[in-house]
Structure 1
């Protein structure tokens, strides 16, 4: 298809998968909230991008939310080739070493799906994007959230920038956003945070003539390698494994989001911030690349006890030296930067805010 991207279409496209996924969560059960999918990555792939909340590891959420006798907590992450999943497993180790809790880390479609899991009580904690969190709580931004605000969603801490990376192959002669006109673009999984961000960006810069493909980061990498797409949007903390892998076998180019384009995008969507991908992050890309970012954050829900949230938060932020991923960004001092929703009382107690 060659869509004309309007704001209405942006909401419809990003919400279409979410509406299907939300059917079981919303219909007749408004008190449980709603849901969705997507964000940092989804190499657990398509079944997770549209089937959310109620089916993924539901039993793990039952015992953990109130610090039950088995002290089991369910932590929903993202796809295995992004940043959420390996970081979540490092957090699992830290929390289990410092507390009596056991964390079960679930690979998911990330942000929107994770909101659904939290709203259903099938996850106790999850990683999500700060823009998706704001959409969910305010019932805006994505059609799946329209009129279905997730009032139970609570913030714990922000972690690091989730960089918007537009990747292509050098042979495709795409060096600016304007070159995406007429291209075949993977905008991320249907309903994902990545797709939302991609369509926002394309609309703002006036790219309306393109063919949209929807797949996970790892699949997008294969599509680029095979010549099936011209470019892909990836949202995640750099370096993203799928892009690193692609750069080992192909000459890649990271398309900058800079200048007037960046100013317009940030004016149109306030949750975006300036970001830079340092030269050398990916093989063959030696110079810094200017772009934008949203913020990765830890979220929970109101039914998780204050003691549980404070204990888990303390375990993480008292032991940051045990982490190896995104450590240049994660700190107690910055843990409320970009927090877009109300803080859980347990996190507020730890951060004394």
Structure 2
């Protein structure tokens, strides 16, 4: 074959290969405010999971979990969301109670995997007479923005602890930054409730002088209000090491679980892209833990049984369970002790088949 014809043939084959290559998927993930932990988790997923899976993942700010559920359901391009467990359950409860809108929103949503526990911060002024979480009854509270997971968490916790709804006159729907300003500057609220996985940028950015203006209320295990709260939420500790510039001692508090959520997609191209995402999430999990937000170190690569009404997304669940099983098998083989030496028989020695 003439060289010119061969060159043309090779170029044509290369062109066909490029033309046949599938374009990178362009997806979005909804997170939370720019000073929260969710947005950093989203960026980690974009860098260490989506990119190796040939997905361009745009990380979007939001008001938080409740808005994320809505946007996951209806906003074009949003294929992933970070959602608090109590928010997800609240939508399921509303649907079960007969709320058609809640059912329409939540029933097609699916879980990818549980992530980590988010700490709940009950922030008051440094000179406040309040010292424990159960003392917030009848206080004016910044509960988070409308549409946020923080707002739902605040109201749910209040209802659990005190057996009555948070009075509307005592609730102000504010962003984290607005709540801290109202708390410390004009003093129009007494408590700011903030939900964020530690270390949260909002608090890590604070200087040593912050301790002169704010403090964090402690969880008191001895009071009945705590027992009521623990029906839905779990005890945890805000570590002084997370905010070493201004926090002097560990603070016991409560947490809520964060989940990675998607939709029950059936379009083959989307199923394929999300399956690649699942493979990449499993394959690159060690990189997430090594290079991502410190909260990744608390995430376990597993798919535990779910509560009634909660469902994993089938195509991703299958890929992840297979990958997790392979990782487990490799880890078990690596950890297996070497076989014990044994004495060979004389006949094995003569035949040269002894294996010590």
TM-score, normalised to structure 1, is 0.72
* Unaligned residue ranges in structure 2 (runs of 5+): 1-20, 323-356
Give the equivalent residue in structure 1 for 2:12: none
C-alpha distance after superposition, 1:167-218 (max 9, x if no partner): 1222122201343244321011123211111112222322856722111112
- Residue 253 of structure 2 aligns to a residue whose secondary structure is strand
Give the equivalent residue in structure 1 for 2:172: 213
Find 1:102's aligned residue among 46, 56, 68: 56
Measured at CA, do residues 130 and 319 of structure 1 come closer, stay the same or move farther in structure 2, by a change above 3 Å?
A: same
Counterpart CA distance in 1 for 2:310 and 2:218 is 30
User: How far off is 1:262 after superposition?
Assistant: 2.3
Q: Indicate the structure (1 or 2) with the bigger Cα radius of gyration.
A: 2
Deviates more, 1:256-265 or 1:228-237: 256-265
Measured at CA, do residues 95 and 136 of structure 1 come closer, stay the same or move farther in structure 2, by a change above 3 Å?
A: same
1:170-319 to 2 correspondences below 5 Å: 170-206=126-162, 211-226=170-185, 227-246=187-206, 248-251=208-211, 252-259=214-221, 260-267=224-231, 269=232, 272-282=233-243, 283-303=245-265, 305-319=270-284
User: How far off is 1:81 after superposition?
Assistant: 0.6
Measured at CA, do residues 338 and 289 of structure 1 come closer, stay the same or move farther in structure 2, by a change above 3 Å?
A: farther
User: How far off is 1:341 after superposition?
Assistant: 1.8
- Residue 132 of structure 1 aligns to a residue whose secondary structure is helix
- Residue 205 of structure 2 aligns to a residue whose secondary structure is helix
Query: Once superposed, which parts of structure 1, at least 4 consecutive aligned residues long, lie more than 3 Å away?
Result: 67-70, 137-149, 207-210, 244-249, 335-340
Find 2:32's aligned residue among 71, 78, 82: 78
C-alpha distance after superposition, 1:244-272 (max 9, x if no partner): 334644213211233132221122x3xx2
- Between structures 1 and 2, the one with greater helix share: 2
C-alpha distance after superposition, 1:146-181 (max 9, x if no partner): 554521100001111011111122212220134324
- Residue 310 of structure 1 aligns to a residue whose secondary structure is helix
Does structure 2 retain, via aligned residues, the 8 Å contact 1:221–1:242?
A: no
- Residue 315 of structure 2 aligns to a residue whose secondary structure is helix
What is the RMSD computed on CA atoms of the aligned residues? Answer: 2.8
Counterpart CA distance in 1 for 2:283 and 2:24 is 24
Counterpart CA distance in 1 for 2:205 and 2:96 is 33
Counterpart CA distance in 2 for 1:306 and 1:134 is 25
Find 1:133's aligned residue among 79, 82, 88: 88
Does structure 1 retain, via aligned residues, the 8 Å contact 2:63–2:147?
A: no
Counterpart CA distance in 2 for 1:177 and 1:300 is 34
Counterpart CA distance in 2 for 1:197 and 1:247 is 28
Give the equivalent residue in structure 1 for 2:286: 321
Counterpart CA distance in 2 for 1:203 and 1:134 is 15
- Residue 119 of structure 1 aligns to a residue whose secondary structure is helix
Does structure 1 retain, via aligned residues, the 8 Å contact 2:65–2:82?
A: yes
- Residue 250 of structure 1 aligns to a residue whose secondary structure is helix
C-alpha distance after superposition, 1:260-315 (max 9, x if no partner): 32221122x3xx22222123323443332222211111100012643222211222
Measured at CA, do residues 147 and 71 of structure 1 come closer, stay the same or move farther in structure 2, by a change above 3 Å?
A: closer
Does structure 2 retain, via aligned residues, the 8 Å contact 1:137–1:149?
A: no
Find 1:157's aligned residue among 113, 129, 143: 113
User: How far off is 1:138 after superposition?
Assistant: 4.7
TM-score, normalised to structure 2, is 0.71
Counterpart CA distance in 2 for 1:138 and 1:177 is 26
Give the equivalent residue in structure 2 for 1:19: none
Corresponding pairs, count: 283
